[in-house]
Copies of this chain bind each other. A is one copy, B any other.
Amino acid sequence: MQSDTRLRTLFNPDSVAVIGASRNPGKLGHVVLANLVGAGYRGKLFPVNPAGGEILGLKTYSAINRLPHSPDLAVVVLPRQDVLRTLDELAEARVGAVCVITAGFRETGRDGFELEMRMADLARRKNITLLGPNSLGLINTECGLNATIAQAMPARGSIGFFSQSGALCSAILDWADGEGVGFSKFVSLGNKAALSEADVLEALGDDPDTRVIIGYLESVDDGEKFLRKARAVTGTKPVIMIKAGTTPSGARATSSHTGSMAGSLVASTAAFRQAGIIEMHDLEALFDLARAFSEQPLPKGPNLTVITNSGGPGILAADACEGAGLNLARPSQKTLQILTEALPPFAAIYNPIDIIGDARADRYRATLEAVAQDEITHAILVLLTPTASAEIEATAQAIIDTAKACDKPVFACFMGHERIKPGRDMLLAAGIPCYAYPEPAIRAISSMLAHYRWLNRPYPVEVCFRRDKGKAEHVIAKARRIGLQELPFADAMSVAAAYELPVPETRLVRTSDQAVRAAKKLGYPVALKIVSPHIQSRADVGGVAIDLHTPRDVRDAWLDITSRTQRKRPDAYIAGCLVQTMGPIKAREVEVRFTQDPQFGPLLSFCLAGPLSEMLGDVSYRLAPLTLQDAQDIIREIRSFPLLRGARGEEPVNLTAIEDILLSMSQLATDFPGIQEAVLSPVLVNAEGAFVSDLRLTIG
């Protein structure tokens, strides 16, 4: 834990005081002390209890100011009303780190929230590292520190874990105990009054005992900081996380549970992806992955070879590969030759390699050896069903030997229960992930490949755009001064122009005569659009006419648009119409947008214009600022991208023009956090270039 000496004190204290230590085994103040003693903590332990005496054979101090010297870490297990005062005393005693186990703060309402704020404030002023309150505690297996109220001490291992849910910590400790999974550090974040997920993540990133980090979060307090720290950590070790409360039902449950806002799923998913965090949506997957990452090397490519003694599970594995980015590549000619000689005639030597039901361990071994040396293969999955001929332990041994001798990740799936147990136990003991079904194995390999690609991604290219920030500032400030929520269209256009977005030339007119004159000036064809402060989406009220070629067209359109709008929205004040130069007629229509996410800041989105994209969830997201790679990826990520690339014999559109718009928007969002939402829709794009046909800017 080099990152921060304050966190080093928290995780590696030379002495620990338990404030509120109790003689009564039913009390949490007893459990903490017993855990510290039981886990074999080698530093000094100071129980503090007004009654003094001895607890668990340890001399007990009646007050903090009676301690022989200032402890590095104090664990507070007192009634809520005593915590703030105690924190003050600990500050007096110059204690470096405090873990508050006591609950009843932010999560219980206004009083608790205020008390918690005062604690956080005190910790900040006195430079105390404060974990919690409402924390289950923390564990460092490396120095035998178990400062928790949990029921079990995990074995030493290379998984670092942090969680915003304390109860989940209990469950995980119990699970780890049963499964024989070890941890390096184990941190229950509690209410995160001071120490945040970002701090702990950074500390685990710097911890030499931690190879894999897993985390459970319900909220992120400072998204920007979290992302920055996470991006640094994921460059050296995998970070696998669940963000709970990402659905409407889940978000409601979260806010009633923690009193914190869950934020939007898309923002946190974009954040995780841009930070290289592997996001999972259920606990089983989280643990499967933690194990796989901590035990196996990363696959260096997508080619998975499946070896099986039965067709059915092989097919299920193949089904699972689809959509997981894995490829059942055909083995090399040399491997095929070896397999043809080694396997019976009815075996399937392609991939999945089906060595058929009467296979004994030698057939597995011969196949494994051939596949392990095949350069085409990046990862190996061995499936076994307990057929009459199956030699379960000998097969496990063949897998273990192969994994030792090659640098490719090797996974096993032994299906069944009692009969396969000895083999499964051997594999797990040897660090080979062994699953009960093919699907989770495929999922783990797929995530490890994603992490390999993250580590080997191109160096991010930061882009800075030429822009007239001062002009945009001026326009926005003016709108703010007169209390506008949304920039008038012409002003929005000025801002866009200042950021070199390809916008049309525009005139605001109030009569059809003015419209015809403006059209003549701009040059035909033109578009005509209704202007009303009360109408958000012009298309919805039929307030747009395009491709007007003659004065007659303009007059007809004026009549159409204004009468239709008045009919549909009789309440709306109509300020006039805009006359605009036209973008290309034959063009795809896309939409570029950003909003401000409360947790992660400006969130850009890209999709095809029109209601279908959102309805069918075909929208891609990135947090600003975008790198060049981000701008390229966000376009290619939508499933309807083939339409832009030129499906069905059409010309591809100018993708660089869209990238430029995305990068300008990223710059605008970063320059002006006060812009709540910006929508460019539709943006017309064809082979020549892009053209922002309409836009809307909303300010705070």
- In the assembled complex, the CB of A218 is this many whole angstroms from the nearest CB of chain B, namely 6
Given known contacts A247-B322, A611-B643, A168 and B310 CB-to-CB distance under 8 angstroms? yes
**Is the pair B253, A318 in contact by a Cβ cutoff of 8 Å?**
yes
- In the assembled complex, the CB of A278 is this many whole angstroms from the nearest CB of chain B, namely 17
Out of B176, B314, B419, B540, name the residue touching A648 (CB < 8 Å): B540
**Is the pair B257, A439 in contact by a Cβ cutoff of 8 Å?**
no
**Is the pair B171, A257 in contact by a Cβ cutoff of 8 Å?**
no
Out of B163, B417, B611, name the residue touching A174 (CB < 8 Å): B417
The stretch from A267-275, A344-352, A524-532 touching chain B is A344-352
Complex CA distance for A404 and B640, rounded to whole angstroms: 52
Complex CA distance for A348 and B109, rounded to whole angstroms: 12
- In the assembled complex, the CB of A479 is this many whole angstroms from the nearest CB of chain B, namely 27
Q: Taking the complex as formed, is A469 at the interface, i.e. its CB lies under 8 A from any CB of chain B?
A: no
Q: Taking the complex as formed, is A480 at the interface, i.e. its CB lies under 8 A from any CB of chain B?
A: no
Q: Taking the complex as formed, is A458 at the interface, i.e. its CB lies under 8 A from any CB of chain B?
A: no
Q: Flag A270-311 by CB within 8 Å of B: 1 or 0 each.
A: 000000000001111000000000000000000000000111
Q: Taking the complex as formed, is A177 at the interface, i.e. its CB lies under 8 A from any CB of chain B?
A: yes
**Is the pair B611, A417 in contact by a Cβ cutoff of 8 Å?**
no
Q: Taking the complex as formed, is A621 at the interface, i.e. its CB lies under 8 A from any CB of chain B?
A: no
Chain B residues whose CB sits within 8 angstroms of the CB of A254 once the complex forms:
311, 315
Complex CA distance for A249 and B615, rounded to whole angstroms: 29
Task: Give residues of chain A (168-217) contacting chain B, Cβ–Cβ below 8 Å.
Answer: 168, 170-179, 216
Chain B residues whose CB sits within 8 angstroms of the CB of A167 once the complex forms:
309-313, 357, 385, 387
Out of B152, B166, B357, B611, name the residue touching A310 (CB < 8 Å): B166
**Is the pair B248, A284 in contact by a Cβ cutoff of 8 Å?**
no
Out of B31, B249, B253, B611, name the residue touching A388 (CB < 8 Å): B31
Complex CA distance for A310 and B171, rounded to whole angstroms: 10
Chain B residues whose CB sits within 8 angstroms of the CB of A31 once the complex forms:
388
**Is the pair B151, A388 in contact by a Cβ cutoff of 8 Å?**
yes
**Is the pair A218, B248 in contact by a Cβ cutoff of 8 Å?**
no
Interface size class of A (residues with CB under 8 A): 35 or more
Complex CA distance for A385 and B163, rounded to whole angstroms: 14
**Is the pair A249, B318 in contact by a Cβ cutoff of 8 Å?**
yes
Complex CA distance for A152 and B418, rounded to whole angstroms: 10
**Is the pair B312, A439 in contact by a Cβ cutoff of 8 Å?**
no
Complex CA distance for A307 and B680, rounded to whole angstroms: 46
Complex CA distance for A201 and B608, rounded to whole angstroms: 47
**Is the pair A250, B319 in contact by a Cβ cutoff of 8 Å?**
yes
Closest to A418 in B: B178
Complex CA distance for A612 and B617, rounded to whole angstroms: 12
**Is the pair A387, B311 in contact by a Cβ cutoff of 8 Å?**
no
Q: Taking the complex as formed, is A407 at the interface, i.e. its CB lies under 8 A from any CB of chain B?
A: no
Complex CA distance for A163 and B310, rounded to whole angstroms: 13
- In the assembled complex, the CB of A104 is this many whole angstroms from the nearest CB of chain B, namely 7
Task: Give residues of chain A (603-630) contacting chain B, Cβ–Cβ below 8 Å.
Answer: 608, 611-613, 615-618
Q: Flag A239-270 by CB within 8 Å of B: 1 or 0 each.
A: 00010111111101110111000000000000
Complex CA distance for A613 and B416, rounded to whole angstroms: 41
Complex CA distance for A649 and B256, rounded to whole angstroms: 35
Q: Which 6 A-B pairs have the closest CB atoms?
A: A167-B310, A178-B417, A165-B312, A174-B416, A257-B311, A171-B415
12 A-B contact pairs sorted by A residue (CB < 8 Å): A108-B345, A167-B309, A168-B312, A171-B416, A242-B316, A245-B319, A248-B322, A249-B328, A253-B317, A253-B328, A282-B316, A284-B437
Interface residues of A (CB under 8 A from B): 28, 31, 103-104, 107-108, 149-152, 163-168, 170-179, 216, 218, 242, 244-250, 252-254, 256-258, 281-284, 309-323, 328, 345-346, 348, 350, 352, 354, 357, 385-388, 390, 415-421, 436-439, 537, 540, 568, 608, 611-613, 615-618, 639-640, 642-643, 647-649
